[in-house]
């Protein structure tokens, strides 16, 4: 089957989150006009909010890593994830098996591991949750290897809200 791509992992996370009632956006600039000096063009790979008070309006940010070298570069630049951490209650890195080692995972992050679907993977009840499942084509499956700790998040800034609305509006126009 080959390498599990960033695109495939992103699509898997979006489908799982949407199936659990989240509103999801991908490649969200942390501010509108994402190449400004203030944010260095930073983006959040996947950002989701559960829009109901009964689910505490939980927000999740996800960083997708397809290779070990990409992950190691992430570890060298911890400030890069500040905005994603600021605007989410839980922060996850999503990667194929072997890319992220559990003992090197920063304590503020959770880990979702993605496997080829055909690979025999045993899941315990601890791996269930909103980020556990498989894609529609049954090519990939994921499990929550490490649950991200919950933390209070900052209210989103107006530039972040504008960026989310731009993503939503642009996506809606393309699909109609």
pTM, full prediction: 0.83
For residues 135 and 44, give the distance between their C-alpha atoms in angstroms, rounded to a whole number.
Answer: 21
Q: How many Cα atoms within 13 Å fall on the side-chain side of residue 99?
A: 27
Q: What is the mean pLDDT of the chain?
A: 82
The larger pLDDT score, comparing residue 7 to residue 121, is at: 7
Region class of 17: left (phi > 0), else alpha (psi between -120 and 50), else beta: alpha
Distance between CA atoms of residues 112 and 143, nearest Å: 6
Beta strand 59-64 with 90-96 is parallel
**Residue 59 three-state SS:** strand
What percent of the chain lies above the pLDDT cut of 70?
A: 77
Q: Residue 82 pLDDT more than 80?
A: yes
Higher pLDDT, 96 or 154: 96
Give the model's confidence band at 34: pLDDT under 50 very low, under 70 low, under 90 confident, else very high: very low
């Amino acid at each position: 089957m080959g390498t599990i791509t960033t695109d495939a992992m992103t699509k898997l996370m979006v489908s799982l989150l949407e199936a659990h009632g989240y509103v999801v956006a991908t490649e969200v600039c942390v501010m509108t006009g994402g190449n400004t000096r203030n944010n260095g063009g930073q983006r959040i790979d996947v950002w989701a909010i559960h829009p109901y008070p009964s689910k505490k309006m939980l927000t999740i940010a996800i960083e997708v890593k397809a290779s070990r070298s990409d992950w190691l570069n992430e570890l060298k630049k911890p400030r890069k994830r500040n905005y994603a951490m600021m605007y989410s209650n839980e922060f996850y890195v999503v990667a194929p098996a072997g890319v992220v080692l559990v003992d090197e995972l920063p304590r503020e992050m959770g880990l979702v591991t993605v496997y080829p679907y055909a690979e025999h993977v045993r899941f315990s009840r601890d791996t269930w949750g909103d980020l556990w499942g498989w894609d529609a084509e049954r090519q990939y499956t994921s499990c929550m290897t490490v649950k991200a700790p919950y933390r209070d998040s900052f209210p989103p800034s107006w530039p972040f809200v504008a960026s989310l609305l731009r993503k939503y509006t642009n996506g809606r126009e393309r699909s109609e």
